[in-house]
Chains A and B, each alone.
Chain A
Amino acid sequence: MSAKLTTTQKVTFLPDINKPGQEQTSPWSRMQKKGKETETAQPAKSQTPTVSKDEIALFRNSVRQNACVEMLRGGFHRSFSELFSLLQRWKEIRLAAGPGSAIWQHKSLEEQPAKLHTLRHYLTKAETALRAGAWSAVYDQQVFLAQYFREPEDRWLSCHFYQTSLNSARRVKIDGGRKEAEALANMGQVYMEQGQLDSAREQYECFYQLTAGRAWRSEGGRSLHCQACEGLWRVYTQLAERPLQANDYRAAIDTLSKAFQMAKEGEGDQCVALQIKLTKCSHSINTCLSVCLSSLAGDHRIEGEAAYRVGLAYQCVGDQVTAKRFLNMYMEMSTALGDAGGLGKAYKAIAKSLESEGKLSETVQYLEKFAEVSQGNNQYHNLEEACMCLGVIFNSRGQYERGCTYFERGYEIARDLEEVPLLQRAQVFVGSARAYSMIRKYSRSVETASHSDLLLLTAWKESRQNVFTDTTGSAEGKI
C-alpha cells in the first residue's frame, strides 16, 4: 500500500512561483501559446501559395528575357550572344524591309516560345561540347538546328546554322574531313536554293575535291562522291541557262559539257536530259550527238532513250530523214525490250515527221498503230491524242465522216478521263467535224429551196439530227 502511494505522482495544488525560468501561465500567455500551436499544427494549409522567385520572373519578364537569363546563369555566354544577335538581326531585316513587305507579317521568334526553347536547348548543348573541345558534337547540334527550321520564313536561320556548322566542321580533324565535306554539300544546297550559283559552285567544287578518291557513304547508302557529281551537274546546268538565253552558245556549250562530264562520272542517268540542251545550242550537232551516243553504249534502255531524243532533236532542226532513222532505232529497241510505252512514243514521233514531210497515208498508218498500242497498254491519254490526230488528218483530207468518228471516240475517252480541257477540245472538234460534213448539203438545200429540201431543213431544225448525209449519201456518190 505504501508502495502504491509513492508511485503516484505528486501534483501540487498551487503553481510554483519560486522556480526560475518557469513558463508564464497567465491566461493571456496561454492563449498566445495555443494560437501558436494551432498555427504550427497546420503548416500545409497556408493562406497564400508560396511562389518562388524564378516563377515570378517567368511570369513578369518577357520570354526572350527568360531565355537569355537562363542561358547566362548556366554560364553559356556564347549561346546568349548568338541568340541575341539573331533576334537583333531579324528585327533589323524586318525594319529595313519596311511595312508592307512579306516579312512584316511574320511572327518574330520571341512570339514563338517553342522555337526559342529548342534554340536554347541545342545552343547550350553545342556550347558544352565546345568547351570540351568536341567539335563534331558541336557540328551535330548545329546541323540539327539547321534542319529543324524548315519553314520558308525561317530559311535565314537554317542558312545561318549551316554556315556555323561548316565553320565547326572545319575544326574537326580526326575524321579526315568527312564532316567538312557534308557541311560543304549542305552549304552548296543552301546557295542553290537562294540562287547564288557562283557560291554554290565553289562549295560543290570543294566538296568534289574532298570526296575524290574517298569511299564515304551517307546514311542513305549513296556515295558522297556521287552526290558531289550530281550537285555539280545541277549547278553547271543552271549556270548554262544564262548564256543560252543570251544566245552565247560557246559559253553554254562549255558549261554544259562540264555538266555532262559530271553526269557521266556520277551515275549516267542525267546525261540523257542534257542532250536536248546541247542540241539546242550547238550548230555542229553531229559531232556533239555522236560523242554523246557513243559514250552511252551498253545500256539498251538508255541508248534507246538517247536515240529517241536525238531523233526529236533532228525533228526540231528539220532533218526528218535522220530523225526517222533514229526513231526507227528506238522503235526496234523498244519492241525488243517489250516497252509498249516507248513503242507508242516512237510511233507518234515517226508519224509527226511523216506529217511534216507530207506523207499523210503513212502518217495515218502509224497513228493507227499508235492508237492500237495505246489501247493495248491502257494509255488513254495517248489514245485520245492519237484519235484527235487522226481526226484532224481526215478532216484536212475532206473525209469528214471518218474524222467525225475518230473525234467522237476521242470525246468519249476524254469524258471517261474527266479532264475538262481535253473534253472541251474534243467537243469543239466533234462539233466542227459534224458541221463540215453537213455544210455543203445544207447550203445547197437552202439555195434550191424545193419542197423536199424545206422538209429536210425543218426536220433538222427540230431534231438537229444529221439528216443530210443520210439522204444525200447517194447524192455524194453521184457528184
Chain B
Amino acid sequence: MSSTTRSKSHVSVLTSAVNPLANPRGAKKLCELCQNLAYLQCTKCRVTFYCDTEHQQADWVGIHEKICQLLIPIRTAMPFHSLQADRDHHRAQILHRQEELIEISRAVAQKKLFEGKYQESLPAAQLSLRCAMDVYGPSAVQLVPAYLLLAEANVGLGSLSQAEGYLSQAEWTVMKTPECSQTVRHQLHRNLGRLYTATENLEGALLHFANDVYYASEEYGLDNIVTCGGYFLMANVFIKQEKMDIASSLYTEVASTWHSHLTKLLETHTPGSMTLEHSFDEAQQAEADQMLRAMLKVQESSPKQATAQNTLVAHSLAMLWFLGGSPDKALEFGRKALQSSQLVPDHSLTEPIQGLLQLAAERGPHLTIAS
C-alpha cells in the first residue's frame, strides 16, 4: 500500500503539463496508452506523453519505470550526421535499442501474466507490439508473440472479443508464413485453446491444445516442462467435461515430469551453492507454482485419495520453493509431503523428502527474506 502511494506521488512529481496547442503544426502528441490528445508529459524522459494521470500511473507501474531512459534515444529526432557511415551507424544503434526494448517489454508482460496481473501487463504488451511493428513491419511474423501476449491478457481480463481479434490476427500471420517456427505455433495454439476454454467451446479448445502439445513435443521433446504445461491445460478442459479419469492420468504425467525436472535441478545445486535464485526463471516458477497448487487442490478434493500422487506433487512444490529461495514455504510443503508419503508403506520418496527438509531447515535462518 505504501509502495503504491509512494509511486503515485512519484508519478505526480514526474508530470508536467503540456498544452496541445503549443505543439508545432502537424506534430500531435498522443497518449501512450489510449492514443488520445496528450496533456501530460513525463519529466524524466520527456518523450512520453499521457492524457491524464491515471494512464500515466498505469503505464509507470506497467512498464515505464523500467524503460524510461531507454525510450529517449529511440524517440528523439535523429541528429545531423554529415557522413553516410555515421547515419548508418546511428540507424543500426537505434534498431538494436528497439530490439532490446521489445525483449524487455515482452519479458515484463510475460512475468506479469504468469503472476495473474492482467491489467498491469497490458501497457508492456502494447509497447512490445508497437515496437515490433516499427522494426519489422505491420504484418511480420515477429509480431505474433506480442499479439499472443495481448490476447492472453485480454482473456484473463474477460474481454474475449478483443482477445479473439488479436488471436485471429496472429493466426492469419502464422498461416501466411509457412516457415514459421514450431515454438510460435505451439504458443499460438495454446492461447487459442485458452480463449476457447474461456468461451466454453471445449471441443475447439481440445483441438487447439492437441496441436499445441504436438508442436511443443516436436520442438522441445516429450518430457519437457513446456509440453506438460499443455497437458495441464488439457486436463482442465477434461475436468470441465467431467472426464475425471483422463484428467487424473494427465495430471500424473505433469506431476512426474515436473518432479524429475526439479530433482535434477536440485541435484546440480545442492553442493553448497548460494546462487539458488538464479537457477530458475521467475516466469516459469510462477507458472509451475500455480499448476502444482491447482493439482494439489483437485487431488485433495477428489473422493479417492491417491496418496502417492499427493506426495509427488507436494514434494515438487517443496523443491520448487526451495530452489526459488523461500525455505519456509519449502518446509511447509515438505512436511505435507512427508505426511502423505508415510501413509503409503515403503515409499521411495521418503528419504529425498527428509533430505530436503533438512536442507531447508539449515538454510532457513541464514537467508534473508529473498522474495
Chain A nearest CB, measured from B112 CB (Å): 30
- For B125, the chain A residues whose CB sits under 8 A away are none
- Pick the residue among A69, A75, A81 that contacts B222 (CB under 8 A): A81
Q: Is B70 an interface residue (CB 8 A)?
A: no
Evaluate whether A75 and B214 lie within 8 angstroms (CB atoms) in the complex, with A81-B222, A84-B222 already known. no
Assess whether A72 is in contact with B249, with CB atoms less than 8 Å apart.
no
Assess whether B253 is in contact with A77, with CB atoms less than 8 Å apart.
yes
Assess whether B249 is in contact with A77, with CB atoms less than 8 Å apart.
yes
Q: Is A73 an interface residue (CB 8 A)?
A: yes
Q: Is B246 an interface residue (CB 8 A)?
A: yes
- For A101, the chain B residues whose CB sits under 8 A away are none
Assess whether B210 is in contact with A72, with CB atoms less than 8 Å apart.
yes
- For B250, the chain A residues whose CB sits under 8 A away are 75, 77
Q: Is A78 an interface residue (CB 8 A)?
A: yes
Q: Is B90 an interface residue (CB 8 A)?
A: no
- Pick the residue among B209, B243, B245 that contacts A72 (CB under 8 A): B209
- Pick the residue among B207, B217, B234 that contacts A75 (CB under 8 A): B234
Q: Is B213 an interface residue (CB 8 A)?
A: yes
Assess whether B207 is in contact with A69, with CB atoms less than 8 Å apart.
yes
B175 closest partner in A (C-beta): A60
- For B245, the chain A residues whose CB sits under 8 A away are 131
- A434→B152 CA distance, assembly (Å): 103
Interface SS majority for chain A: helix
B213 closest partner in A (C-beta): A72
Q: Is A129 an interface residue (CB 8 A)?
A: no
Residue of A70, A73, A77, A81 contacting most chain B CB atoms (<10 Å): A77
A127 closest partner in B (C-beta): B249
Q: Is A85 an interface residue (CB 8 A)?
A: yes
Q: Is A466 an interface residue (CB 8 A)?
A: no
Interface SS majority for chain B: helix
Evaluate whether A73 and B231 lie within 8 angstroms (CB atoms) in the complex, with A65-B214, A78-B249, A84-B222 already known. no
Assess whether A75 is in contact with B209, with CB atoms less than 8 Å apart.
no
Q: Is B206 an interface residue (CB 8 A)?
A: yes
Evaluate whether A75 and B246 lie within 8 angstroms (CB atoms) in the complex, with A81-B222, A84-B222 already known. yes
Q: Is B341 an interface residue (CB 8 A)?
A: no
Chain B nearest CB, measured from A171 CB (Å): 16
- A345→B133 CA distance, assembly (Å): 95
Jot down 23 A-B pairs with beta carbons below 8 A, ordered by A.
A53-B207, A68-B210, A69-B214, A70-B210, A72-B206, A72-B209, A72-B210, A72-B213, A72-B214, A72-B234, A73-B206, A73-B207, A75-B238, A75-B246, A75-B250, A77-B231, A77-B234, A77-B249, A77-B250, A80-B213, A81-B222, A85-B222, A131-B245
Given A72-B210, A75-B243, 14 further pairs, Cβ under 8 A: A53-B207, A68-B210, A69-B211, A72-B206, A72-B234, A75-B234, A75-B238, A75-B246, A77-B213, A77-B231, A78-B249, A80-B213, A131-B245, A131-B246
